[in-house]
Amino acid sequence: MPDPQRGNARDVNTLHWHTTAGRFRRASLWLGLFGLLAFLLADLEITTLSPGTELARIGSGFLTPDFAATEFLWHALANTLAFAFQGVALGVIAGFVLALCWQYRAVRTVSAVIRAVHELFWGLIFLQLTGLSPLTGVLAIAVPYAGIFAKVFGEFLEEADGRPARALPTGSPRLAAFFHARLPLILFPLRTYSAYRLECGLRASAILGFIGLPTLGFHLETAFRQGDYSAGAAILYLFFLLIGTLRWWLHRRLLPLYLGAALWWAPPLSTAPAGTLWRFLSEDIVPAPLRQGAGLEGLWHWTLRLMGEQALPGVWHTLVLSSAALLLTALLSLLLFPLISPRFGSPWRRGIGHLLLVVLRTTPEFLLAFILLLLFGPSMLPGIIALALHTSAIVAWLSGRFTLQWPARADGATGVRGYFFEVLPRVYPNLLALLLYRWEIIMRETAILGILGITTLGFFVDAAFAEFRFDRAMLLILVSVLLNLAVDAFSRRLRQHLRLSLNEGRTLARLTPAMPGAAR
């Protein structure tokens, strides 16, 4: 029986692949050509008059952070923590309950749909239902995280060793069998993955400020839009400090205390008047032709017009931007993973590499895109760079960690020869599997970049909410969900074709304790 604290020795890398080099070459070639085509079609125009001057001003602001310039900064920090703790806790509970029924297709479908909708889209929806309240922030995190936790926990349970359960006496109660023979096997990865998700929840909570909730993102957006880069830098440094010190202040024994403080600071209550939910469901999201008595014919024309004018252009731009970002992510990942590999460089250089990757993966891609928009203007270029920087830091970190587990050879090649002839062939399957797995997440993040002004699906969703056309917004969000599910299905088929088997949840769970910002 595998030790739940250490896992199965065969499962060290979690990834198993059995395919040919030819398949890898063909798949990589087609993905590369697809990404190049996306770059040719993408809008990469720089529309600002003097990006160099703006970059110098931002750089100056980062060198002179002003922690006293923002009013209620500590309130925003407390709100960010409170929303994240409550949202992740609620997501863990709901996801665990769903995972117990993971064998049912309906549960898997519901989980896939709710996690395909980004936290910001959920935030925009709940703003209409519960107002500008703590409950909106908590639910915007909890609902999609419930879908994510359900998938990961469900896979943990499916892959758990069944021999302890079979060894129990016949007729043992199912509940007792679960708690004594199955739960202990998944408790360690479940706990560590939840800790990793808390870090993600903090990032999600921060960017909820961009839709008006009083978290760090609200003050960050205000400071940068006003050109007060010293104030913006101070908020960003505070956020880095919060994430970077997680391993020292986040301990599972203190979680009840943190959760109690979060509930006390920001009780999850609604500020919306009674009857809002019923009006939203029975009137607001009902398509306009049906409300106005135009019947099914009117609904058909309304749908066609909305698809032609907004949904299809939004889907096209989302696909182009995400495909270009995927290619740039792959190239950056290949360049960045040696930064933390013991096969390359000295310990101090690996330390700098770790710091760089932590900063890049800690900064939400939405926030990176916002800052780059100030430099380059509202084209696809800021979104592509932001998504690639953030995602490549995650992929490079995980790929670099795999090289730590290889025994060093005294006669092994070093330098460029070692990279191309020894390390890269062994790392590449892991790296490719991670990239394909992250494709759906890149697509999901691409859609919400529209809220910043880039013409992806989120641009039209945000406009519909701003015009109180909730029926349009819900249809466009549905299109976004279908697009994410289609990309996820394609990515999964491609991984099956390459015979790459990756459980990223288990991979992260195994590697998270060593990550800066992970819980002990």
Who contacts 266 (Cβ-Cβ below 8 Å, separation ≥6)?
78, 79, 82, 83, 86, 134, 137, 138
User: What pLDDT does 17 receive?
Assistant: 52
User: What pLDDT does 511 receive?
Assistant: 52
User: What pLDDT does 14 receive?
Assistant: 46
User: What pLDDT does 267 receive?
Assistant: 94
CA angle 386–447–127, rounded 5-degree value: 110
Farthest CA pair distance, the chain? 79
SS3 label, residue 500: strand
Who contacts 379 (Cβ-Cβ below 8 Å, separation ≥6)?
43, 44, 45, 46, 47, 454
Q: Along the 520 residues of the chain, how does pLDDT read in single tens digits? A: 334 334 443 444 445 555 567 777 888 888 899 999 999 999 998 888 788 888 899 999 999 998 887 788 889 999 999 999 999 999 999 999 999 998 898 998 999 999 989 999 999 999 999 999 999 999 999 999 999 999 888 888 887 787 887 887 777 777 777 888 888 888 888 888 888 889 889 999 999 999 999 999 999 989 988 889 999 999 999 998 988 888 888 888 899 999 999 999 999 998 888 888 889 988 889 999 998 888 889 999 999 999 999 999 999 999 999 999 999 999 999 999 888 887 787 788 888 888 899 888 888 888 899 999 988 888 899 999 999 999 999 899 888 887 776 666 666 677 788 888 888 888 888 888 888 888 888 988 888 888 888 888 999 999 999 999 999 999 999 999 999 888 888 887 887 777 666 555 556 555 554 444 333 3
Instruction: Please state, in angstroms and as integers, the Cα–Cα distance from residue 333 to each residue in 65, 90, 118, 389, 424, following that order.
Output: 30, 34, 24, 9, 11
Run of H or E including 97: helix 73-99
Residue with tokens 């957006």: 221
How far apart CA 500 and CA 68 sit, in angstroms, is: 51
Burial class, 35, CB count within 10 angstroms (exposed 0-12 / middle 13-18 / buried 19+): buried
Burial class, 174, CB count within 10 angstroms (exposed 0-12 / middle 13-18 / buried 19+): exposed
User: What pLDDT does 516 receive?
Assistant: 41
Nearest to 223 by CA among 235, 238, 206, 237: 235
User: What pLDDT does 400 receive?
Assistant: 84
pTM, to two decimals: 0.85
User: What pLDDT does 320 receive?
Assistant: 94
User: What pLDDT does 478 receive?
Assistant: 94
Instruction: Report the relative pairing of strands 16-17 and 500-501 from DSSP bridges.
Output: antiparallel
User: What pLDDT does 322 receive?
Assistant: 92
SS3 label, residue 94: helix
Who contacts 321 (Cβ-Cβ below 8 Å, separation ≥6)?
38, 42, 380, 383, 384, 387, 446, 449, 454, 456
User: What pLDDT does 9 receive?
Assistant: 37
